[in-house]
Amino acid sequence: MKQNEISGIRREYTKGKLTKCSVSDNPFTQFDEWLDEAVAIEEEEPTAMIVATVSPEGHPSTRTVLLKGVEDGKFIFYTNYESRKGQQLAANPYISLSFVWHKPERQVHIEGKAEKCSPEESDAYFASRPYKSRIGARISPQSKVIDGRIGIIRAFAREAIRLAGQEVKRPDNWGGFAVTPTRMEFWQGRENRLHDRILYLPTGTGKRRGWHHKGKNC
């Protein structure tokens, strides 16, 4: 595609607006409402989120993973701890998550700090995964170069045969991360690129932790 064709791709956003009066005082309640609406209108992959981490050299890295829960004020996803993102989070736990929902013309951007879920939490989720996904998690060399797909298919088959009739347990290098937000921004596309944004920032700590939001007045 030519440069002038790329630069000419655009759309006008007309499906909603966002003010301080139209959102909840609690960003998690607001997120639940928007996610529920994205699911209801059959947004493709509504739980898909862009996860950004930083290398020890300070280089950003992104990939798309699926949100698997929002519990106790934390956003949860699961991955291979030996993957690039897993290693980067071990060295630097600061992270950002971005949800993009095209049908309602909305985005949510979250910044925070990640910590590993407990082994018990990771075990419980792993046990709920489809059988083939559990086998795949055990043999997939995430973020590593492989000689070809045939090799990983053979590894999958060998592991499936080896574990036939047995419980497929979670490998030690696989589990969850729970992200505690320090900033949450809700974005609504508007006409003429005059988009609406509401920013939530935390107040207090511990049991007294709350949120206040900034954005366009009513």
Domain boundaries, the chain: 11-130+173-215
Strand partners, 202: 211
Q: What is the pLDDT of residue 155?
A: 81
- What pLDDT does 44 receive? 96
Q: What is the pLDDT along the chain (218 residues), one digit of tens a residue?
A: 887 788 888 889 999 999 888 899 999 999 999 999 999 999 999 999 999 999 989 999 999 999 999 999 999 999 999 999 999 999 999 999 999 999 999 999 999 999 999 999 999 999 999 888 888 888 776 666 667 777 777 887 887 778 787 888 999 999 999 999 999 999 999 999 999 999 999 987 766 677 878 776 77
Please, are residues 122 and 78 in contact by the beta-carbon 8 Å criterion? yes
Best CATH choice for the domain 11-130+173-215 from the list 2.30.110.10, 3.40.50.1820, 1.10.10.10, 3.30.230.70 = 2.30.110.10
Break the chain down into helix, strand, coil percent, rounded to 5: 30, 35, 35
Q: What is the pTM of this model?
A: 0.89
Q: Which residues are catalytic?
A: 193
d(CA 107, CA 33): 13
Give the pLDDT confidence score for residue 207 in this predicted structure.
Answer: 62
Sign of dihedral through CA atoms 83, 120, 157, 132? negative
